[in-house]
Structure 1
Amino acid sequence: EAPSFNKPTINIGDRQKGRMQAESVINCNPSKADIVNAINISLSKEFREKIKNSINPYGDGNTSSKIINIIKQALSQNINLKKKFYDIV
């Protein structure tokens, strides 16, 4: 959620490894020195300037309304949602 507000986020450890992330995310190892370094980066003027217009790769926060509109559109088209079976014999 923090990337939606252009705020720094620190991921400690590798739980998020391989996942898409915003440029506002700082990854670090679970050691005191790395965590302190990540905090210092997140508080720096340069980093905050860099992320002030960053984009959240997971969307704009309007997913619910988009889903509702898609469902309404599908329902208005009288789509037959009944499961179909086919004999393969």
Structure 2
Amino acid sequence: MGGEGAMMAANQSLKANRSQLSKKKRGFGGLAHNQSGKKTEYNFPKATKEDIKKLRNKLKKEHIERRVKQIVLLTVIMIILISVFIYFA
């Protein structure tokens, strides 16, 4: 059967890549995981329903403004491209 050498090379390559990946995870120090094994506790402020509604409305408004800017920019670019194509046609 042909191809056994290629499959063996592929398996060796995968094994080598896997061994390098485990070294990378250990090399991060405290960035990849907590070294002490303790759970990190955070003191987040309590959010009221009013705060959540204000934040939601603010994010919706920002999203709409961003979308309008994207549409205007796309329209301007399309008008420029169409005018260039018409000019050179």
TM-score bin (small chain): under 0.3
Using CA pairs below 8 Å that are at least 6 residues apart, which structure has the higher relative contact order?
1
Which structure shows the bigger proportion of residues in strand conformation? 1
Which structure shows the bigger proportion of residues in helix conformation? 2
User: TM-score, normalized by length of structure 2?
Assistant: 0.28
